[in-house]
Structure 1
Amino acid sequence: MSSCCKTGFKWDGKPVGTESTIAGLKTYTTGSNENVAILIVADIFGWTLTNARLLADHYAKEADATVYIPDFYDGEVIGPEMLEDPEKAKEFDLMAWVGRHNKEIRGPAIFAAAKEIRSKYKKVGAIGFCYGGWAVFQLAGKGNNLIDCVSTAHPSLLDKSEITNLGVPTQIIAPENDFTLTPELKTFCNEEIPKLGIDYAYEYFPGLTHGFATRGDPTNKLQKDGLERAKNAAVSWFLQYLHGTK
């Protein structure tokens, strides 16, 4: 993994949701639809980052859903100041963080949250950013019956087996420059997912880099246009597969 997992830009805005609990986990909750829900598995900055909460608010309003961002990182919070402080980013040991929150450790809580949400809603979608990408692909696995569609933006730590086991409509939001969703892995997705008999959308973002959809610079036109297009693509996906309309 790379430094672009731990750098980026803080967004201005005030989230409008509340804090609740899902499967015993502290959770940011926004929206009021009683039939449709979206689960977000955040990047390493977790459930408290304003950027993630603002995105959740957009999904809640524009995709007409109740949206959840649980704390899947056992209370560990990376302060948003690291986004724009190169020295703090340099000092942060990303691989040690990944070791503390690897798939075997965090997977059970992610599945537990998805199961509780599924028990309450008729339609459930999931979206994972960066580190959260592998998690939502696992939730979307054949036979799990936990979610109705999945989206991921610049996913990290994806195994090919998680890709070929997909069982629900899948959207990938892919920047041109991504050290985790490599050109080889992009090709694998685009060759193998269409063989699975599920709807598939590959959204390509030229000139953009890993992390843009959650930590892009809103003062840079290319990045601002990209993060808005990524948000709109996810909203359209959720509208289609959670409500049956675009």
Structure 2
Amino acid sequence: MPFMPIGPCCLEGNTLPGEPAGVVEAATDGNPVARYHAMPKDGNVVDSKTALVLFYDAFGLGIPNPKIMADEFAEKLRINVFVPDYIPNPPPPKSLDAISESYPGEYAKKSWFRTILDYGSAIVHLVPYVRGLLNGAVMPLASKACEQLKKEGYENLGAIGYCRGGSVIVHLMSKGDASLLKCGVICHPSPEGKELYEAITLPTQWHLASHDMRFKDPQIAELRQVVEKKSDVITEITVHPDTVHGFAARPNLKNESAKAGFEKANEDAVAFFNKHLLSSA
């Protein structure tokens, strides 16, 4: 069954169709990180001690995609899914649209003058938000979000992250602390370095773009080199053809390769969590 069947009438750029069905839980003294909570439509979960944490990209909850995807994961896995609001003061969702292709070659015919203007505009608009995207601000909130779920009685946590959220999972899993996370799925993150990859000892699934301006062929080769030396650690790596950074979370639904990559990555994630999160609960 497809992760999220999308018909031609639903195609609206990189915004997924549908309306979020979960609830937003505000930050409190007891729970310092606000979050979106999704659960199966009928309210019945297969394991009340197991949950999935979804870390979205640098633009936070500005578009409905992370909530809609959390709803889908909750329905497919039959568990509670949480999307922490872990990025303080995220930039506007479309800040980089003018300089980030949604499929390979989308801006190939753009003039150099237009390109310079677009990059200059993006930099100016992003400057006020840089501090909120740094690890010093992000990682403590990401960790607290998981720790809070543990305090609430969730004994088994899996995590899936996209773009900035994928990098967050690399950092969390490189600590080698199986008491926090059981496994993780990492989708088109920024490259974080060989040392962190080597430190990951938990089951991990990677979904990378074939034309990522951040995670390029040399970085993919470095990751594969590390993984090949760790035969005792379950690791899956898929490079999705004709895709760019962001395809698994904010796909251009009018582009067949982007749409196919989105479906494949998230379908594989469901299978991965069924095997390494739910079976180990």
TM range (shorter): 0.7 to 0.9
Matched letter for residue 215 of structure 1: R
**Which residue number in structure 1 is paired with residue 35 of structure 2?**
27
1:125 Cα shift? 0.6
Matched, 1:141 2:174: yes
Q: Offset of 1:105 from its aligned partner?
A: 2.0
For 1:227 and 1:183, the matched residues in 2 are separated by: 20
Whether 1:102 aligns to 2:134 is yes
Q: Secondary structure at the match of 2:144?
A: helix
- Report the TM-score, using the length of structure 2 for normalisation: 0.76
Whole-Å separation in 1 of the counterparts to 2:95 and 2:132: 19
Larger deviation, residues 115-124 vs 90-99: 90-99
Aligned-residue RMSD, C-alpha = 2.4
Equivalent residue, structure 2, for 1:243:
278
SS across alignment from 2:34: strand
Q: Which residue of 1 aligns with 2:87?
A: 73
% same residue = 25
TM-score by length of 1: 0.86
Query: C-alpha deviations, 1:179-228, integer Å up to 9, x for none?
Result: 22221111111121243321010112011111111111122222211111
In the alignment, the residues of structure 1 paired with residue 216 and residue 74 of structure 2 have an alpha-carbon distance, to the nearest angstrom, of 31
- Give yes or no for contact 2:96–2:122 (8 Å, CA) kept in 1: no
Uncovered stretches (5+) of structure 2, i.e. residues with no partner: 1-12, 100-116
What's the counterpart of residue 17 of structure 1? Answer: 22
Displacement of 1:159 after TM fit?
2.5
1:206 partner letter: P
Q: 2:74 is matched with which residue?
A: 60
Q: Flag the structure with higher strand content.
A: 1
Contact 1:9–1:84 (Cα < 8 Å) also in 2: no
Instruction: Determine which structure has more spread, i.e. the larger CA radius of gyration.
Output: 2
Give the letter for the 1:14 counterpart: E
1:211 maps onto 2:246 in alignment: yes
Displacement, 1:16?
0.7
Partner-residue secondary structure (3-state), 2:137: helix
Judge which range, 200-209 or 84-93, deviates more.
84-93
Query: Does residue 126 of structure 1 match 2:159?
Result: yes
Q: Return the structure number with greater helix share.
A: 1
Count of matched residue pairs? 237
> 1:64: Cα distance to partner?
2.0
Partners of 1:17 and 1:89 in 2: how far apart? 36
